[in-house]
């Protein structure tokens, strides 16, 4: 899966700098994903499901946050994403909010994530997706 920003490969450095008690939230799931291992696993799984990521912006937001604004697709459906990463005083990613749109694409992703995590403790976040 190609992930590019201004024509160059992009990797989210914050993903390797998660606080132990980081939380992950978003419109595509219910509840908050808790802890570095779980958040890391979910982000990596989502990146595997994306067919590409084309970043329009990846940089600072306010005093202690980082924003990503990118276009992707899942199962051929266009998906637009804004990721807000809030850092703690130690500079670690403390809070992650992944915002997908439009609604129809959110639900396609949610179903794909439910398939990916079926039978695992993380599946609860996508169960009940219509």
How many Cα atoms are found within 13 Å in the side-chain-facing hemisphere of 70? 25
Let me know how long the chain is. Answer: 130
Cα angle, residue 128 at apex, residues 74 and 47 outer, rounded to 5°: 25
Stretch that binds another protein, among 6-14, 43-51, 64-72, 115-123 (CB under 8 A): 64-72
Using rule CB under 8 A, residue 29 touches another protein: yes
* 50 CB neighbour count, 10 Å cutoff: 19
- Of 15 and 97, CB closest to another protein: 97
Using rule CB under 8 A, residue 118 touches another protein: no
110 cis-preceded (ω within 30 degrees of 0): no
In the complex, minimum distance from the CB of residue 34 to another protein, in angstroms, rounded to a whole number: 14
Q: Which residues bind another protein (CB under 8 A)?
A: 25-31, 57, 59-62, 65, 67, 69, 80, 82, 84, 97, 99-104, 106-107, 110, 128-130
């Amino acid at each position: 899966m190609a992930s590019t920003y201004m024509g160059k490969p992009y990797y989210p450095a914050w993903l390797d700098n998660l606080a132990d008690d980081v939380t992950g939230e978003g419109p595509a799931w219910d509840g908050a994903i808790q802890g570095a291992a779980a958040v890391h696993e979910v982000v990596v799984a989502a990146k595997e499901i994306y067919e590409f990521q084309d970043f329009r912006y990846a940089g600072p937001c306010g005093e202690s946050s980082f924003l990503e604004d990118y276009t992707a697709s899942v199962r051929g459906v266009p998906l637009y994403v804004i990721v807000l990463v809030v850092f703690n005083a130690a500079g670690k990613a403390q809070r992650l909010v992944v915002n997908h749109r439009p609604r129809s694409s959110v639900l396609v992703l949610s179903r794909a994530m439910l398939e990916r995590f079926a039978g695992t403790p993380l599946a609860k976040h996508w169960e009940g997706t219509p």
